[in-house]
Copies of this chain bind each other. A is one copy, B any other.
Amino acid sequence: MRVDLRERLGRNVRALREAQGWSQEEYADRSGLHRTYVSAIERGRRNPTIDVVERLAAPFGVEPGSLLGDPGKQLD
């Protein structure tokens, strides 16, 4: 089953956030985004621009492109 890119992004963000033990609220503060937006991103409901993908990646210190990678593969 081909996982839609928006879902991939959502799964990657949720996995990284939970690995850090951050709530959506805390992660939203760290990324400068609103909690409800983070929630929608994690549910694959948003089609963000690359600038926003960069902000989503920043708190984790990972490459922005890796958030679009296959959640099955290891995130660098």
* Number of copies of this kind of chain in the complex: 2
Q: Nearest Cβ in chain B — how far from A64, in angstroms?
A: 5
A54 (CB) vs chain B CBs: closest residue: B5
Size of the chain A interface, CB-CB below 8 angstroms: 18
Q: Is A13 in contact with chain B by the CB < 8 A criterion?
A: no
Question: Whole-angstrom distance from the CB of A54 to the nearest CB of chain B?
Answer: 5
**CB proximity of A24 to chain B, nearest CB, Å:** 20
Complex A-B, nearest 8 residue pairs according to Cβ-Cβ distance, in ascending order? A65-B68, A65-B65, A47-B49, A65-B69, A64-B68, A5-B54, A47-B51, A49-B49
**Residues of A at under 8 Å CB distance from B?**
5-6, 9, 47-51, 53-54, 63-70
